Amino acid sequence: MSRRVNNDRQENEVLALSNIYSSKEFSYIKRTTIQCYYNIFPEVRDGLLKLQNVNENNETNCSTSKCLIKYIPPIRMYIELPDEYPFTNPPKYSITVSWLSPWRISFICQKLDEMWLINKEQEILYQWFEFLRNDLLDFLQIQNILDISFLYFIYYNVSSYFNSSLMFQNDGRAIFSIIFSDPVQLLMNYHNQQCQIVFEQNYYTCIICFELHSGKTCIKLENCGHIYCGQCMQTFITLKLNENAINDMICPVLNCNCVITYNEIKSLCSGLFSKYEDSLLHITLRSMKNVIYCPRILCQCPVIKYTDDTFAICYKCDYTFCSYCYKGYHGATPCDMTSHSMKQLINKYESSNKFQRQFLAKKYGRKQIQIVVEKHLTEEYLKRNAKPCPNCNTMIEKMDGCNKLTCIHCKAYICWLCGVLITTRNAYDHFSSLESGCYKRLFD
């Protein structure tokens, strides 16, 4: 058959293919020969593929086995149509697959050659393309699991692969392109990109405003899959940020406690993201036992305690302070205490266990705690058993006898019952006067 007839058949074939497939899938250039570029997107028919990585000890990597993908990177095929095609010679081609081992790609080349021999003298490109798109996974017996063990071996042993005979035992048309890439990362990134493309092509009802929105303006939360329009979710996150409710960044759906991720907050509220980071840092530092804050109001810089010593210094303003009472550093001297603080300390000390009491003794000083406790007990005793002298305020306790007492300090006469100062010449008149509330109560 003449060269002209072959060329006409080639042109008709690529023209038909360009009408069947999108420009993203198929394109060609006509130079001295026709050169074709084809991206084949294999179809995963039965749900998801589980990635599998088995090492040389036949042990499965558990983290890898948790990765499920629906979309796998395209097979890239370069084809050159010689003058003798299709009557005599097959197309020249190379095929690149990023998720298969070199020998499995070589196996594909053998299959394509067999298809040509069966259909010799006929246009073969369409059959090749349909086989690669629809039947390749079945041909390779890839059903539920995609084994990437060899890809990981190469990733961690690149030099060994280059120096081994494996590199030269494969079909020259089979191109292996994933040597310097993490297989799981490459496959998961592609899967996520394709999922996002499919998501943006559909319409969804926002759970908050109940309106229909394009996927391009919606967000699907990573941890739970609930879908919202970007505007509602942005308003929700902004409200939480303004309220400083950083720990409440969860999905708004009732009883859904899934956390909104760091990247989702960043993409939705980029303008407030620095505030979110500052608040997150503040909460994190607050939860760290060895981090305290400078007590100066205009500073408030976090300070790290490297030892159990009470000494602390702010590296921003150089203020040295006690890490317990936050006042200026006072060395080994116990922290100053107000009367209210003393009451709190006593209540805390009485309800503490052994270790908590050791901490309080270290903070306030064992001697100071002893003084505070003794003072408190004394005050409680005096409150129950003594009364102040109305003349000099000296505390007076009645042991026994009558209700007329004499202050041991100022020698004034006092009624124990009503607490008044007795000023009459005869102190007992207070108990014999009809007008007195203590009439005939001298020995009550």
Amino acid identity at 172: G
**Average pLDDT of span 36-40:** 94
Is pLDDT of 1 > 60? no
Are the C-beta atoms of residues 241 and 269 closer than 8 Å to each other? yes
pLDDT on residue 96: 92
Is pLDDT of 128 > 80? yes
Q: What is the DSSP letter of 308?
A: S
> Which residues, in sequence order, are CB contacts of 272 under 8 Å at separation 6+?
237, 238, 241
Give me Rg for the CA atoms of the chain.
44
**Is residue 86 reached through a cis peptide bond, with omega within 30 degrees of 0 on the bond before it?**
yes
pLDDT on residue 291: 83
> Which residues, in sequence order, are CB contacts of 373 under 8 Å at separation 6+?
346, 349
> Which residues, in sequence order, are CB contacts of 331 under 8 Å at separation 6+?
none
At residue 93, the 3 state secondary structure works out as: strand
Is pLDDT of 58 > 70? no
Of the pLDDT bands very low, low, confident and very high (cuts 50, 70, 90), residue 85 is: very high
> Domain 202-270 - what CATH class?
alpha beta
Q: CA torsion 352→357→362→365, rounded to 10°? A: 100
CA angle (422 as vertex; 420, 427 as ends), nearest 5 = 140
Residue-wise pLDDT tens digits, 235-257: 998 888 888 787 788 999 988 88
Top-ranked range on mean pLDDT: pick from 47-56, 132-141, 147-156, 346-355: 132-141
Of the pLDDT bands very low, low, confident and very high (cuts 50, 70, 90), residue 163 is: low
**Average pLDDT of span 24-34:** 92
DSSP letters spanning 116-176: HHHTTTS--HHHHHHIIIIIHHHHTT-SSEEE-HHHHHHHH-HHHHHTSGGGGSS-TTEEE
Of the pLDDT bands very low, low, confident and very high (cuts 50, 70, 90), residue 167 is: low
Task: Give the CA count within 13 Å in the CB-facing half-sphere of 433.
Answer: 10
1-191: CATH architecture: Roll (3.10)
Residue-wise pLDDT tens digits, 206-219: 999 999 999 999 99
Q: How far apart are the two ends of the chain, measured CA to CA in Å?
A: 141
Question: Comparing 326 with 135, which gets the higher pLDDT?
Answer: 135
Amino acid identity at 247: N
CA–CA separation, 100 and 79 (whole Å): 20
Q: In terms of DSSP H, where are the helices of 157-257? A: 158-162, 183-200, 230-242
Q: What are 203's strand-pairing partners?
A: 214
At residue 263, the 3 state secondary structure works out as: helix
pLDDT on residue 66: 72
What's the predicted TM-score (pTM) here? 0.58
pLDDT on residue 56: 55
- Number of other residues whose CB lies within 10 A of the CB of residue 250: 16
Task: Give the CA count within 13 Å in the CB-facing half-sphere of 289.
Answer: 2
Question: Comparing 260 with 289, which gets the higher pLDDT?
Answer: 260
Lowest-pLDDT choice from 74-83, 180-189, 368-377: 368-377
State the chain's maximal CA–CA distance in angstroms: 153
Are the C-beta atoms of residues 419 and 425 closer than 8 Å to each other? no
Domain ranges of the chain: 1-191, 202-270, 339-386, 389-443
Of the pLDDT bands very low, low, confident and very high (cuts 50, 70, 90), residue 343 is: confident
Name the token pair of 408: 């041991």
**Average pLDDT of span 168-185:** 76
